[in-house]
Structure 1
Amino acid sequence: MNPEIRFLPDDKKIQIKPGTTLLDASKKARVHIRTRCDGNAACLMCKVTVEDGTGLSAPGDNEKRKLGELIGRGYRLACQAKALRSCTVHVPEDPLKAAVRAQLAKQREEEQW
């Protein structure tokens, strides 16, 4: 059976072939993960956290060098981490979306007064 990747906070799921990178899986699931280097581990924008990293390939030397101690806290580069088994991936909110969401929340709060 092919692994199922669940992307949060969008709660989108997709089944992929084992060995597919999380970045490629996200594209297939239509989940946006920011990147500038097109998956070459150069920009570090595709950092995600994984609930149970045991479903992923071991971090390579390049990823270890780039992320350092963050790997121990569940961070992985979506362009480098390959899914071997099912797992849940937390994608950080885009900074622009976060700013808009915060502004809208502030406006709603002000309207209540």
Structure 2
Amino acid sequence: MATLDEARAAKQGLRAAVSSISGVVGIGVAPEFTSPVDPERPTPRGTALQRVSAPGAARVNVLAQQVAVDDLPGADGGWVLQVNVVDPAVVDKIPEEIADVSVRVRVVGAVRAG
């Protein structure tokens, strides 16, 4: 489990490692949610959790307003690096860890202007 500062420091190394991989559309730091969001978990000051449901999905908690990422720790305060890719074929080319910080890969749609 990495701290926010460790994850931010490792981000540069990840950027260098994936710079030549076509299909990478985003690199960032994200909370390490290793368990479902706990409704009893304290929320950042001035923020309320709101229950919402989507057709065919379980009810989930979402933040009712924007907060700074520094105010939203992952489960047990852990952080990971996240790489968004548009091509599932490149997932295996992304390192699983950089500088002892776990890397999560998400396959997303192509990024376009609205």
Structure with a larger share of its residues in helix: 1
Whether these two folds match at TM > 0.5 is: no
Q: TM-score, normalised by structure 2?
A: 0.28
**What's the TM-score, normalizing by structure 1?**
0.29
